[in-house]
Amino acid sequence: MTLRALAAFLGRRLLGLVLLLLIISFLVFSLIYLAPGNLVDALLGTGEKSPQLVAAIEARYHLDQPFMVQYLLWLKDAVQLDFGTSIKLNESVTAVLADRMSVTLFLGVFGFLVAVVCGLALGIAAALRRGTSVDRGAVGLAVLGVSTPTFATGLILLWVFGILLGWFPVIGDGDPTFSDRLWHLTLPAIALGVTGTALMAKMTRAALIAGYEQDYVGFARSRGVGGLRILLVYGLRNSLVPIVTAAGMVITATLTGSVLIEQTFSLKGVGELLISSINNKDIPVVQATTILVAVLVVVVNLLVDLSYFAIDPRTRRA
């Protein structure tokens, strides 16, 4: 693939990405109109309603303008990362979000690493010992991991390691130092990583088994190539496309799963902010959080697609 073809592909995908985000942002903006009750009430939340406040809200949201104009004005601010003021916290939404980011980011990266490391190890072990009890155990764990809701895993871990054994703290995200964070977020990250581990193990196992049935693996074996080299250079290298696809899916699952896990472990992250804002009808925060997660997911999907070109030269020919 020439550089020009790559640029054309990238341009097309970016255009699609912008279109997708426009659709999502439009839906998210319409939320305030779909919410039950009066629009001004919805925007003011449960706070008191003075004429000045109502006037300020009407001016802020351009409520005297037609719907599409309102959306475009809102979008203009949103593009500049201005999502208005949180109704409940009376602070800029961007500041509130930035404040919550560190916990969620730490938890997300930690959970993702757990999923990738455990999932790869489990998948490789199952593929190499295919048909044995190791394989059956790994596949069984994977099915159980996919079937168990994140919050149920979290609760069981909380009970066993937090309460019965008392090894880990039960509540909160700890001091902002790295070691304390690590200690407080270990259980949540493991719980968050279980679904991803299952996904990763399933995909890795299937890809490796298919790879090991190829003639070149049999031929490499007959030439006396070592088992480790076969695994790394012949097996995993050729299974990288499905593995990276799985990793992308794990990131999405981790992002949405953190909403549930933060609730389970009472962590003050972005997910907890989303749920409390929904309960308080704090629509600007809900809008900003939804857009933030949607942007992250869409960008991750694009990066995964782009990585195929780097991983597998055959995809560049198309």
Partner 1 sequence: MTEILDAPTTVPSRRPGRPSILVGLSFLVIALVVVCAIAGPALAPYSASAQDLTDTLAEPSAAHLLGTDDLGRDVFSRILAGAASALTGPLVIALGAMLIGSLLGLTAGYRGGFTETAIMRWVDLMYAVPQLLIAIVVVGVLSGTYWEAVLVLIVLTAPGDTRILRGAAIEQRGLPYVEALRVLGVPGPRILIRHVWPTLVPLSVAQTFLNFATSLVTLASLSFLGLGVAPGAADWGRMLAEGRDLVDVNPWTAIAPGLAIALTAAGFNIAGDWLHERLAGRGKDRT
Using the CB atoms, write b or e for 7-19: b if 16+ within 10 Å: eebeeeeeeeeee
CA gap 76, 242 in Å, rounded: 38
The residue (of 73 and 298) whose beta carbon lies closer to partner 1 is 298
The residue (of 24 and 125) whose beta carbon lies closer to partner 1 is 24
CA gap 116, 67 in Å, rounded: 45
Q: Looking at 1, 14, 144, 299, which residue binds partner 1 (CB under 8 A)?
A: 144
For 102-129, the three-class secondary structure string (H helix, E strand, C coil) is: HHHHHHHHHHHHHHHHHHHHHHHHHHHC
User: How many Cα atoms within 13 Å fall on the side-chain side of residue 18?
Assistant: 7
**Residue 265 beta carbon to partner 1: minimum distance, rounded to whole angstroms:** 10
Q: Looking at 92, 102, 148, 315, which residue binds partner 1 (CB under 8 A)?
A: 148
Spacing of C-alpha 60 from chain mean position: 32
Q: What binding mask, one character per residue, do residues 168-197 give for partner 1 by CB under 8 A, x or -?
A: --x---------------------------
CA gap 107, 118 in Å, rounded: 16
**Residue 43 beta carbon to partner 1: minimum distance, rounded to whole angstroms:** 12
Do the beta carbons of residue 262 and residue 107 sit within 8 Å? yes
The token pair at 265 is 């472990």
Query: Count of CB atoms within 10 A of residue 134's CB?
Result: 15
CA gap 121, 127 in Å, rounded: 10
What does 43-86 look like in DSSP terms, one character per residue?
HHTTS---HHHHHHHHHHTTTTS-HHHHHHHHHHHHHTT---B-
The residue (of 121 and 170) whose beta carbon lies closer to partner 1 is 170
Q: Which of residues 9-48 bind partner 1 (CB under 8 A)?
A: 20, 23-24, 28, 31, 34-36
Q: Looking at 172, 176, 218, 227, which residue binds partner 1 (CB under 8 A)?
A: 218
Q: What binding mask, one character per residue, do residues 151-170 give for partner 1 by CB under 8 A, x or -?
A: xx--xx-xx---x------x
Q: Looking at 7, 143, 233, 299, which residue binds partner 1 (CB under 8 A)?
A: 143
Q: Which of residues 245-304 bind partner 1 (CB under 8 A)?
A: 252, 255-257, 259-260, 263-264, 274-275, 278-279, 281, 283, 286, 290, 293-294, 297-298, 301
Do the beta carbons of residue 102 and residue 110 sit within 8 Å? no
The residue (of 164 and 318) whose beta carbon lies closer to partner 1 is 164
* Residues at the site binding partner 1, with contacts judged by CB under 8 A: 20, 23-24, 28, 31, 34-36, 130-131, 140, 143-144, 146-152, 155-156, 158-159, 163, 170, 213, 218, 252, 255-257, 259-260, 263-264, 274-275, 278-279, 281, 283, 286, 290, 293-294, 297-298, 301
